[in-house]
Chains A and B, each alone.
Chain A
Amino acid sequence: EDQVTQSPEALRLQEGESSSLNCSYTVSGLRGLFWYRQDPGKGPEFLFTLYSAGEEKEKERLKATLTKKESFLHITAPKPEDSATYLCAVLNYGGSQGNLIFGKGTKLSVKP
């Protein structure tokens, strides 16, 4: 069964304290891995898509990387406005086309 597991469930950082969020996945064939950010009371906001192992993408203080079994979202020198829940999702080759399988997210809190 296809599965996405995110860790930790919650992460508290001081402003400027860099860290990483983990997304491990088990799928029959990975077509893409997606990272989303979700603020309270809002819908998930698309951040990145990664397609193959070794790929990296960056946006401001965020960098996403992908291996054959997991993805990391690295946050460099975070600011309080980076506080949010970060969701990871995968799209597989098997089954129906286009439906994402989501992890339960990592809730990030950055204190000033």
Chain B
Amino acid sequence: DARVTQTPRHKVTEMGQEVTMRCQPILGHNTVFWYRQTMMQGLELLAYFRNRAPLDDSGMPKDRFSAEMPDATLATLKIQPSEPRDSAVYFCASGLVKPLQAGEQYFGPGTRLTVT
């Protein structure tokens, strides 16, 4: 049963510290997405990659967030420095997206980040 995995599942850190979240997408999927979920805003797209190349990161605060995909089995989302307003659940999702076709996205269990 193929699944998206994310680590860590929970992270508590102090303001100003660096946070790195990791995601292993489903093997064979060509697109990886990073979302943030809060009660107020719901699910927001931060960035996504197609075949490991960044396609869109307009949803991310550029000065503190960075997303990379060093290989096909690993995507990372880094926050440096972290701030209390970054507290949220961060989801990774992957999917097989083909031109002109809608593709389902499969979500990982999320990383719950608390910045104090």
Contact = CB atoms under 8 A, between A and B. Distances in A.
A91 interface: yes
Nearest to A6: B42
A98 B107 contact: no
Given A43-B91, A87-B43, A105-B42, A100 B105 contact: yes
A58 interface: no
A99 B56 contact: yes
A18 B55 CA distance: 42
Contacts of B25: none
B65 interface: no
Interface residues of B, number: 26
Given A98-B31, A99-B56, A105-B42, A46 B99 contact: no
A45 B107 CA distance: 7
B102 A103 contact: no
Contact of B56 (A36, A96, A102): A96
Given A43-B108, A43-B109, A103-B42, A97 B97 contact: yes
Given A41-B110, A49-B104, 4 more contacts: A42-B110, A44-B43, A45-B107, A46-B107
Interface of B: 4, 31, 33, 42-43, 45, 48, 50, 55-56, 91, 93, 95, 97, 99-110
